Structure 1
Amino acid sequence: MSQPAYPRLLAPLDLGFVTLPNRVLMGSMHTGLEETGDWARVAAFYVARVEGGVGLIVTGGMAPNSEGAVLPGAAGLFTAEDIAHHRIVTDAVHAAGGRIAMQILHAGRYAYSPRAVAPSPIRSPISQYTPAELDAAGIEKQIADIATAAARAREAGYDGVEIMGSEGYLLNQFLAPRTNRRADGWGGPIENRARFPIEVVARVRAAVGADFILIYRLSMIDLVPEGQTWDEITFVARGVVAAGATLVNTGIGWHEARVPTIATSVPRAAFAWLTARMMGERIGAPLIASNRINTPDVAEALLAGGAADMVSLARPFLADPRFVARAAAGRPETITPCIACNQACLDHTFALRVSSCLVNPRACHETELRLDPATVARRIAVVGAGPAGLAAALAAAGRGHAVTLFERDERIGGQLNLAKRIPGKEEFEGLVAYYARAVAEAGIEARLGAEAGPEDLAGFDAVVIATGVVPRDPAIPGQDQPHVLGYLDVLRGGADVGPRVVIVGAGGIGFDLAEFLAQSGPSATLDPAAWRREWGVGDPDLTSGGLAEPAPPPSARAITLLQRKAGRPGATLGKTTGWIHRASLAARGVRMMGGVNYEEITPRGLRISSGPGRENPRLIEADTVVLCAGQEPSRALADALVARGVAPHVVGGADRATELDAKRAIDQATRLAARL
């Protein structure tokens, strides 16, 4: 009998009263689906993951009461009608053979509401409201409301609950001296500060009975000043297990922390060492590792090494709902990879939009973005094998169309091949490899190294133009000098870049270019120890909160990043990742300036001035000037076809280059393929 592909990952986990089929938890994500009121759509989202083999699902955070909601009107479980709505989800999950737990999340001072409450009246730096300090009656109300929410979850058919005790939410706020300044029995020594979460777990266990999964999400490292020490974290872990927790899940960092925790530049499994240490504390309950675990191999290695009893993956289930099934089939290379970009998941959440996924736009849109088999198979030409062209070709082929993919380069990927060269974006390497394999397995005829002309496209039933973008010409006097390069020259390799660099343009590619030119030696994303040094991640056994002094490496070059637009460069970057790019470059001494006019490039550098009045003219000395001033659609082929009376479908950058991103390109192309 052959050994299973991932013996530890796929091994059952006996919890005493129930056995989970494998060691994979789909971690909590707030998708915004519950707030749509379309509960069939919520159910379809979770059922797709059950059918993909996940062992246990945890929902997005549900508020136990109105003051605990992250936003006014956030989903909760308050009424009989709410219970009936949630029952639609749990019934569907159970009918598909799955199990699902509801996360109970009390935001505390993170609530965007004047009704926010907390252990002490200390405003969060990410909220405009100062919370009211809970008195004894208020504390009792919060505990009772959380226990009631858990009882309602059981009534609604859930198999368990997860108590959110990390990420800087209410229970975590009671635990950390940073936010708990109380002088009564709920503050001061850890025995008092831990009373609140321990009592919550005990009351929840009493409310739901013994045969109900109770997960406690424990902050293993707060990553904020005046956070918990390791001894305190261990004290809480033992306390919640003694109070009735079935499983202890890993939480990392507060939302206000200066350290990134789940972005693509964070090393894979970067914080699993903390769960491994907690395993050594023998707290009496299985432990779950989390954060940046995005492949079966990483997960299997953690379990095999004794770092955890179970692993939590969240965003990878947006990228591919069949993650577990593909691993179980011994075909991990067919898993659509999560690149941890945050663009369609967390960025959408913070913009109050329904979440999705850059590489899988059907995530959270299962009922309205369908790729059903085509009624009539057609011959479809797709020109361009960047993100938009690949998405269109694969979706169309998946529906049964005969697809021919033209790409003038010798390889697929388009600008993804530039992205994968940026330090901190190594996940794009796997994405390009995935697309190459998927194209081959889908039976798509790929004509690489072939620049398609109108004659090549004759005879197809439909033509999709995904020819991407070309760099915009900034028309700066002197830009034809030999020390002036385009961003493509630099990122494709081989260009000679001097020690002093000026980058003209501070959009997404400009920031990527600065990261590329600032790097010397291996990327810290591939070296967890170096990454921790750079960001100042310490040991909670040595410093409260687990912070150390950041020690970023110096930039390999003196870099100045410029933009014409007034204001802070990088303001248009992703909401949840832009700050990381700005902070990383600033820490390395990269100078960033907005509101400048590009007057002239000279042999000595770039002459600029400021503002509409062209004030303060000056020279920024540079050995190399790199032009990165935006892109324009590459539409020559589309225009030639239109001139011949052919109406092509134009997607991605070829359609619109403004604020181009792969998320929009892939979504647009997939939706087109669904209609063809």
Structure 2
Amino acid sequence: MERKYPNLCKPIKIGNVYFRNRMFSAPMGGTDITAECTIGRASTAFYELRAKGGAAAVTVSECMVHPETDGSHAFHLDLKTVGSLSSFTYTADAIRRHGAIASVELSHSGQYAGTYLTDKDKKRGLAQWGPSAGVRPDGLEVKELTEEMIADIVEAYGKCAALAKRAGFEMVMVHGGHGWLINQFLSPYFNKRKDKYGGSLENRVRFAQEVLDSIRKAVGPGFPIEFRMSGSELFEGGYDLEEGIQIAKLLESRIDLLHVSAGTYQRGFAITHPSMFVPHGCNVYLAAEIKKHVNIPVATVGALNDPEMMEEIIASGKADVVEMARALLADHELPNKIMSNRDKDIVKCLRCFTCMAERATTSTRRCTVNPLIGRELDGTEIIPAAKQRKVLVAGGGPGGLEAAITAAKRGHKVILCEKSNELGGILKGERAIPFKHEMYELGVTLAKLAEDAGVEIRLNTTVTKEYVEKENVDALIIAVGSEPIIPQIPGLDGDNVIVVNNYYLEKNKVTDEVVVLGGGLAGCEAAIHLAREGKTVHLVEMREELAIDANIRHRPILLNEIQKCNINVHTGYKGVRVTEEGVICVDVNGEEHLVPGSSVICALGQKPRRDIVDELIDCAPHVAQIGDCVKASTITTAIYQGYHAALDIN
């Protein structure tokens, strides 16, 4: 078979272990860490899913090696805790039985102990230890590790690695980046020691070298050790790429794979985890430059999900391995699809941060575009129905498409009706905003998958009560979505007003000075796009804060982008009239102000199309309503409800 992406699909030997391709599943935290810090069954299934999907290696994250000085609620591996070793053994087995190599990330939070606690107040009762004494940005005291404590931690790394090997893991990753303990020793910003572990670069690298020596002694020769480092800390006071190269050279003799990431988690989340506002692969240059100076395989990471880009990275020698996390949440089958030349079927990550926000908020996982994530124990196989039913899906947005695909895979005869001439629903409008183009692509991909699954698609078809009754279906899934909220504000129906949903159709009408009326997520993202085009943008929001509907990971990045774009923000302003000169607003004191702009973008939210739902609710023996027509919500909700609505048809 001729592979479309031969370099990406080529096996690689690291240490004495063979990996089936160059696509690795980067470390991702588990979904159900038990009270004893063992791996819960849901987490085992979570990691197994990526092995099933074809990744060459799957790394379990994070195993904290020294709980005595690291209070983070993460995985621990020891012999004294009942169920600890067995939970790791079952997880390694679940990964390996699908042909992937099981790896575990060995880590220590250092002065950021408590990071993974959902109850953030609890971290105040923990001891935060680091290379140097000081005070964290959040006011918590950091104590300096003694040399005796350092020696104990070094030994703990070796013990933990030995137990990982005993449990069936065939590789370990040492986390030396992102602001955790090893990175704190490497960094001149964190490390102010005067002894053999501080000062010169050779001294600052010593702790990492001792850790790696401890692990090598424990696991023996040929057992792959992967070291994750930040190629540059990318902030003032941290080490730069030039020093990152020197760190890599001082460590390469002790490791088998150098994993080059970027930034420091606590001082640059959006650098370590590139957002939709920056290019894909924006951190690859760090790995590419370091690779020129070392003689071991190098891995790169950071918002990689495009097969052509990843193939070029390997083919051109920028890196030997590409690692993905969010991309393999969005589509765990991504490696299998690439290996079998089905790259057009890949459901791409939107970089919306739902996955990471959910973990921080509820200690679970969810992915906007993959309804299986965090629910793997509920069953990852779509089981054919006992009897074929005739199913009508009303609405071709993301929820309707997901429902149609899933119902068709179960063997039902599925008809999907869309009132417009194009599938995708609300996603259609995202094609006009470059940093949200993957949301538009989602609609295109789901449409292809629906067609491939055998769904009969009828465009320009409005579903009415009469239409459903004429089709005589067994099941009806109502996915008619939402419509824009357009209040009775004088002038809001004028020619200078564009509803944000229709921006892609009317973008040429937008002038150089724009008022975006509505500071929710959609309005903020529209404002950023327009400002990036060089327009003068005024953003008006009646509440005191912007984007309160954005998740807790995406929102800070969004607000920072608004600031960077020099957008004129007017909070506490309520629009009362639209004129040719702009929007007349009243402030909290009732005083009027003109917010100038010859064009106005109306982004005041969405409301469910309940009138259509009410008409159709009794039109079939089995009726389900999903997504925005129930309550204006998110793509996440629509896809999840669509998937399960199709599973519920008997």
Q: TM above 0.5, one fold?
A: yes
Q: 1:16 to 1:200 in 2, by over 3 A?
A: closer
Q: Return the letter of the residue paired with 1:636.
A: D
Partners of 1:128 and 1:350 lie apart in 2 by: 21
User: Residues 177 and 226 of structure 1 are in contact (CA less than 8 Å); yes or no, is this contact kept in structure 2?
Assistant: yes
| C-alpha distance in structure 1 between counterparts of 2:440 and 2:486, whole Å | 29
Deviation at 1:155, TM superposition (A): 2.0
Report the alpha carbon displacement of residue 8 of structure 1 after superposing the two structures with TM.
Answer: 1.5
> In the TM superposition, what are the counterparts of 1:148-227 in structure 2 within 5 Å?
148-227=159-238
Judged with a 3 Å threshold, the aligned counterparts in structure 2 of structure 1 residues 361 and 628 are, in CA distance, closer, same or farther, namely same
78-87 or 393-402: which moved more? 78-87
> Partners of 1:492 and 1:646 in 2: how far apart?
39
State how far apart, in whole Å, the 2-side matches of 1:176 and 1:38 are: 31
Contact 2:291–2:319 (CA<8 Å) still a contact in 1? yes
Contact map agreement 2:468 2:619 (CA 8 A) in 1? no
What is the identity, as a one-letter code, of the residue corresponding to 1:273? Y
1:353 and 2:363 matched: yes
- Name the structure with the higher helix share: 2
Aligned residue in 2 for 1:79: 79
Letter in 1 for 2:127: R
Distance across 2 between alignment mates of 1:99 and 1:670: 30
Q: Deviations over 1:101-146 (max 9, x none)?
A: 1001211222222322111234444x55332221222222222222
CA distance 1:672–1:70, shift in 2 (3 Å): farther
Preserved CA contact (<8 Å) 1:67 1:117: no
- Which of the numbers 544, 550, 561 marks the counterpart of 2:539? 561
Residue number among 648, 653, 656 corresponding to 2:628 in the alignment: 653
Q: 1:490 to 1:8 in 2, by over 3 A?
A: closer
Partners of 2:187 and 2:328 in 1: CA distance: 32
Q: Which residue of 2 aligns with 1:527?
A: none
**Alignment partner of 1:327 is 2:338:** yes
User: Which deviates more from structure 2 when the two are superposed, residues 636-645 or residues 415-424?
Assistant: 636-645
Residue 467 in structure 1 maps to residue 483 in structure 2? no
| Distance of aligned partners of 1:4 and 1:175 in 2 relative to their CA distance in 1, 3 Å threshold | same
> Which residue in the other structure is 2:560 paired with?
583
Check whether the contact 2:522–2:603 (CA below 8 A) recurs between aligned residues.
Answer: yes
The alignment's TM-score, normalised by the length of structure 1, stands at 0.89
3-state DSSP of counterpart to 1:28:
strand
The alpha-carbon deviation at position 89 of structure 1 amounts to: 1.0
Cα separation, 2, equivalents of 1:109 and 1:421: 44
CA distance in 2 between counterparts of 1:420 and 1:33 reads 37
Contact 1:39 1:88 in 2 (8 A): no
1:66 maps to: 67
1:386 alignment counterpart: 397
Shift of 1:200: 0.9
Q: How is 1:523-542 mapped onto 2 (pairs within 5 angstroms)?
A: none
Measured in 2, the distance between the counterparts of 1:316 and 1:621 equals 41
Q: Which amino acid in structure 2 is aligned with residue 349 of structure 1?
A: R
Q: What amino acid is the match of 2:364?
A: V
Contact 1:154–1:208 (CA<8 Å) still a contact in 2? yes
> What's the CA shift for 1:636?
2.2
- The question of whether the paired residues in 1 share the 8 Å contact of 2:475 and 2:621 is answered with no
Q: Which residue of 1 aligns with 2:569?
A: 592
Comparing 214-223 with 88-97, greater Cα deviation is found at: 88-97
2:258 maps to: 248
Distance 1:364 1:272 in 2: 29
1:264 and 2:276 are equivalent in the alignment? yes
- 1:276-425 correspondence to structure 2 within 5 Å: 276-281=288-293, 283-343=294-354, 345-370=355-380, 371-425=382-436
Q: Secondary structure at the match of 1:54?
A: coil
Secondary structure at the aligned position of 2:231 is classed as strand
* Mapped partners of 1:433, 1:123: distance in 2: 50
When normalised by structure 2's length, the TM-score is 0.92
* 1:31 alignment counterpart: 30
Structure 2: 5+ residue runs without aligned partners?
Answer: 115-122
Deviation at 1:381, TM superposition (A): 0.6
Q: Which has the higher contact order (CA 8 A, sep 6+)?
A: 1
| Compared CA separation, residues 670 and 270, structure 1 to 2 (3 A) | same
Q: C-alpha distance in 2, partners of 1:471/1:193?
A: 57
Return the offset for 1:75.
1.9
Alignment match, 2:153: 142
Tell me if structure 2 keeps the 8 A contact 1:380–1:462: yes
**1:286-324 alpha-carbon deviations (Å, 9 max, x no partner):** 111111221322221111001111111222221222222
Q: Which amino acid aligns with 1:74?
A: A
1:480 and 1:4, CA in 2 relative to 1: closer, same or farther beyond 3 A?
A: closer
Deviations 1:388-407 (Å, cap 9, x if unpaired)?
Answer: 11111111111111111000
Deviations 1:47-68 (A, max 9, x none): 3322322211111211112256
Partner of residue 42, structure 1:
43
Aligned residues: 630
Aligned with residue 98 of structure 1, among 97, 100, 109:
100
Q: Which amino acid aligns with 1:582?
A: L
Contact residue 198 and residue 236 of structure 1 kept, 8 A: no
CA positional deviation for 1:246: 1.3
Matched, 1:118 2:130: yes
Per mean C-alpha deviation after superposition, the further-off stretch among 78-87 and 374-383 is 78-87
Shift of 1:463: 0.7
Q: Which amino acid aligns with 2:75?
A: A
> Is the 8 Å Cα contact of residues 407 and 448 (structure 1) preserved in structure 2?
yes
**Residue 367 of structure 1 aligns to a residue in which SS?**
helix
Q: Which runs of 5+ in 1 are unaligned?
A: 521-555
Q: CA deviation at 1:179?
A: 1.0
In 2, the alpha carbon distance for the partners of 1:100 and 1:158 equals 5
- What is the identity, as a one-letter code, of the residue corresponding to 1:77? L
Distance 1:167 1:423 in 2: 29
Q: Deviations over 1:471-503 (max 9, x none)?
A: 112222343343333223423325522332222
**Aligned with 1:288: secondary structure?**
strand
Q: How does 1:608-619 map to 2 (within 5 A)?
A: 608-611=585-588, 614-619=589-594
User: Hey, what does 1:55 align to over in structure 2?
Assistant: 56
Q: Does 1:632 align with 2:607?
A: yes
| Structural RMSD (CA) | 2.1
Question: CA offsets per residue over residues 150-204 of structure 1, 9 Å max, x none?
Answer: 1221122211210001111111111111111122221111111111111111111
Q: What is the rounded CA distance, in whole Å, between the counterparts of 1:182 and 1:19 in structure 2?
A: 41
Tell whether the 8 Å contact from 1:163 to 1:217 is kept in structure 2 after alignment: yes
